[in-house]
């Protein structure tokens, strides 16, 4: 791990994104899922995952998270519809919180897949990336619109 003991703790935030692409028939079936509400289960799974980031990513510092939110939104864009996931994390610490946000988005996406895979094996998890971050020596970052 990188030694961050000389760094001054500061407020750090990060927002990550993931998208689970699925067919219109799977989107339509989301509210009737026999396992429960995939979006709510994914939200909780993302929050739990972020809290365990340092256990799963070998050189990641354990951080005291002061806020974590995961939102899952259904998008119906014809054959390219699916579930958009947005994970927001914040802390006051000596290092950034990007990995916690990325972990939350990734695990939430995997949870949506797990809860819908019986309906279609062709569901795709894609577009996992950092949207923005604040704090730290490198300052603010915002992903450019492509």
Query: Is residue 51 within 8 Å of 103, Cβ to Cβ?
Result: no
- What are the pLDDT digits (tens) for 54-102? 999 999 999 999 999 999 999 997 667 999 999 999 999 999 999 999 9
User: Looking at the domain assignment, is residue 141 inside a domain?
Assistant: no
User: Looking at the domain assignment, is residue 146 inside a domain?
Assistant: no
Count of domains observed in the chain: 1
Specify the CATH number for the domain of residue 76. Answer: 3.30.70.640
| DSSP E strand stretches across 4-45 | 10-21
- The full length of the chain comes to 146
145 or 44: whose pLDDT is higher?
44
User: Looking at the domain assignment, is residue 4 inside a domain?
Assistant: no
Which range marks the domain in which residue 121 is found?
10-135
* Catalytic residue check, 114: yes
User: Looking at the domain assignment, is residue 128 inside a domain?
Assistant: yes
Q: What span, in angstroms and rounded, lies between the C-alpha atoms of 24 and 36?
A: 19
| DSSP E strand stretches across 8-109 | 10-21, 65-75, 82-93
User: Looking at the domain assignment, is residue 52 inside a domain?
Assistant: yes
Per-residue pLDDT band at 35 (split at 50, 70, 90): confident
- What are the pLDDT digits (tens) for 110-138? 999 999 999 999 999 999 999 999 998 88
CA atoms 79, 104, 42, 58: torsion sign: positive
Q: Which of 6, 69, 114, 120 is catalytic?
A: 114
């Amino acid at each position: 791990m990188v030694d961050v003991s000389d760094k001054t703790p500061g407020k750090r935030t990060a927002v990550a994104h993931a998208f689970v692409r699925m067919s219109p028939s799977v989107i339509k079936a989301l509210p009737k899922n026999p396992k429960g509400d995939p979006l709510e289960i994914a939200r909780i799974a993302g929050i739990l995952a972020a809290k365990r980031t340092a256990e799963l990513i070998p050189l990641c510092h354990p951080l005291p998270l002061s806020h974590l939110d995961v939102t899952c939104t259904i998008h119906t864009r014809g054959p390219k519809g699916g579930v958009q996931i947005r994970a927001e994390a914040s802390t006051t610490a000596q290092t950034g919180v990007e990995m916690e946000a990325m972990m939350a988005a990734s695990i939430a996406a995997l949870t949506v897949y797990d809860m819908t895979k019986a309906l279609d094996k062709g569901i795709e998890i894609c577009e996992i990336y950092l949207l923005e971050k604040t704090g730290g020596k490198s300052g603010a970052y915002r992903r450019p619109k492509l």
